[in-house]
Structure 1
Amino acid sequence: MAEDKYNLKNPAVKRILQEVKEMQSNPSDDFMSLPLEENIFEWQFAIRGPSDTEFEGGVYHGRIQLPAEYPFKPPSFMLLTPTGRFETQTKICLSISNHHPEHWQPSWSVRTALVALIAFMPTNPNGALGSLDYKKEERRALAIKSREAAPKFGTPERQKVIDEIHEYMLSKAPPVPQLSPSQAPEEQSTNKEYETQVNPQNAVGEELSNAAVGDRIVEEPHEAPLNANPEPEGLRVPRRVPVGHSVEPLLHRQEPMVQKPSDDRMFTLAAVGLTIAIAVLLLKKFMKASGHGAFFMDGS
């Protein structure tokens, strides 16, 4: 680097050169950044996608422009690699960028800014300038593609720095998982729909078992539509499921139905019983009357 091109007494130049030395003496596997030979206020960088996100394994390039008042004013950032989170070749809006100078601290550095940029990647864009909101599977596809080659941008001297950074980051970056995080839930959802179609009771059992929490018995709310006929007691599926017990037996068990006699049979039995009672009563009266008549005949 031709340090004789710059005034080493300039606070910005002095600070930038210190950061260059610190970056080279203490490299990171998560990012790499170098200034251009022809302009130390122009930096190229690449960051690694954060782990356990759809960006994992991706290598994302960008540029940093440091103001003449650096470090008292914040830098600006621009991504060159498509990420699905930030627009390319557009100055992005972050609390560490020149869009929010009120948040910038002179104690922060290029290293600090790159660490923050990595942390911002999986966050919600909330419509910020230069932000995108792609689906996870689209971002994962871009992460895989980002490893193929470094972006083409600027002069041959700049491109040389970009290619050098890309080779370094590939040597440190883990492989990209081939299965996107969104595919597994989709497959699981598809399987669940299939099981529901084949055996609807399985789905009901799962819902009931999910209703059981801790050591409590959770009753599933059930509202019948107005003017609806209530379901017979013998065919009703139990709504209360004790925790720790299998739901399947409850789905197949039916309460025993009590066979009630028909109205005609009950009427016949009542008529027979009444007839017998009347006959007995008449017989008793007849016997009593016969005995009383004989008594008067003997005493006359």
Structure 2
Amino acid sequence: MADRGRLKKELSELQKDTNAGVTVTPKGDQLTELEGTITGPDDTPYAGGFYRISISIPSGYPFEPPKMKFLTKVWHPNISSQTGAICLDILKDQWSPALTIKTALLSLQALLCAPEPDDPQDAQVAQMYQRDPEQFKQTATFWTETYARPPGDESDSQAVTKLMEMGFGRDACVKALQDANGDETEAINALLSG
């Protein structure tokens, strides 16, 4: 059985610390299913993003790592763009009972700052990161603006707004940009030929 006393203490400390850019909310009273959030680090394509993370606490916690995956879609070499699965050593064989949910979330935030394309979770993203850094940055920024908006922020990304100003409908603009991985020129060509 997971150490409930430690978990309660960790959650209590997290709620007091409002400066870290991470939060955790229990989903039910068992404390085995949590939802974490991290904010995208400044000076990265993830800046301004608000990322939700599913956290499952195994019965062996804190001697076993929590199981985490992104609920918010993110374009990153170490995070699956399809499932949200995360490739990070401290969530696997480098976990230590000295680590906490907070340190794991802060490590995810650090991962957004420093991708590890040589140990990818998503090979397609890792290839783009290595071969075309500008396209990677553009795509990651588009995904941040499209999927990682803070709660209550219904504004469109700059790219969507620009295409809508050309007379295309919002849904068509979002779909064209998604299909083009945020490449505005490709999205315009798709809209014009569609």
1:48 and 1:148, CA in 2 relative to 1: closer, same or farther beyond 3 A?
closer
Look up the equivalent residue of 2:32 and give its one-letter code.
F
1:216-272 Cα deviation digits (max 9, x unpaired): xxxxxxxxxxxxxxxxxxxxxxxxxxxxxxxxxxxxxxxxxxxxxxxxxxxxxxxxx
Residue identity matched to 2:19: S
- Whether 2:18 is the aligned partner of 1:17: answer no
Identity %: 26
SS at match of 2:37: strand
Greater RCO, CA 8 A, separation 6+? 2
Give me the whole-angstrom Cα distance separating, in 1, the residues matched to 2:28 and 2:21.
23
1:95 aligns with 2:89: yes
Matches within 5 A, 1:202-221: none
Cα shift at 1:124: 2.7
- Give distance in 1, aligned partners of 2:19 and 2:51: 15
RMSD of aligned residue pairs (Cα, Å):
2.8
Q: Is the counterpart of residue 140 in structure 1 residue 141 in structure 2?
A: yes
Partners of 2:148 and 2:26 lie apart in 1 by 22
Q: Is the 8 A contact 2:23 2:37 kept in 1?
A: yes
**Distance of aligned partners of 1:111 and 1:138 in 2 relative to their CA distance in 1, 3 Å threshold:** same
> For residue 56 of structure 1, what is the aligned residue in structure 2?
47
The answer for the alignment partner of 1:128 in structure 2 is: 120
CA distance in 1 between counterparts of 2:116 and 2:11 reads: 32
Structure 1: state its 5+ residue gaps.
1-9, 150-165, 171-176, 180-300
Q: Could you tell me how far apart the structure 1 residues matched to 2:2 and 2:86 are?
A: 26
Q: CA deviation at 1:129?
A: 3.1
Is the contact made by 2:57 and 2:66 (CA closer than 8 Å) also made in structure 1?
yes
- For residues 146-161 of structure 1, what are the structure 2 equivalents within 5 Å? 146-148=147-149
CA change 1:108–1:146 in 2 (3 A) is same
Cα deviation code 1:190-236 (max 9, x no counterpart): xxxxxxxxxxxxxxxxxxxxxxxxxxxxxxxxxxxxxxxxxxxxxxx
Whichever residue aligns with residue 21 of structure 2, its letter is: D
CA distance in 2, matches of 1:44, 1:130: 23
Look up the equivalent residue of 2:50 and give its one-letter code.
Answer: V
Q: Deviations over 1:100-137 (max 9, x none)?
A: 2xx11111101101111111113233243357435110
SS of 1:83's equivalent?
coil
Any conservation in 2 of the 1:92–1:130 contact (CA below 8 Å)? no
Cα distance in 2 between the residues matched to 1:144 and 1:20 = 29
Aligned to 1:37: 28
Aligned-partner Cα distance in 1 for 2:59–2:47: 35
Structure 2, unmatched stretches of 5+, are 129-135, 160-194
Q: Secondary structure at the match of 2:47?
A: coil
Deviation of 1:147 (Å): 4.3
The count of corresponding residues between Structure 1 and Structure 2 is 145
For normalisation by structure 2, the TM-score amounts to: 0.65
Secondary structure of the 1:121 match is helix
Q: Which of 74, 79, 89 in structure 2 is aligned with 1:83? A: 74
The answer to whether the 8 A contact 2:73-2:148 is kept is no
**Superposition deviation, residue 83 in structure 1:** 1.1
Q: Following the alignment from structure 1 to structure 2, what is the Cα–Cα distance between the partners of residues 42 and 110? A: 12
**Alignment correspondent of 1:109:** 100
Distance 2:56 2:84 in 1: 12
Equivalence map 1:243-282=2 (5 Å): none
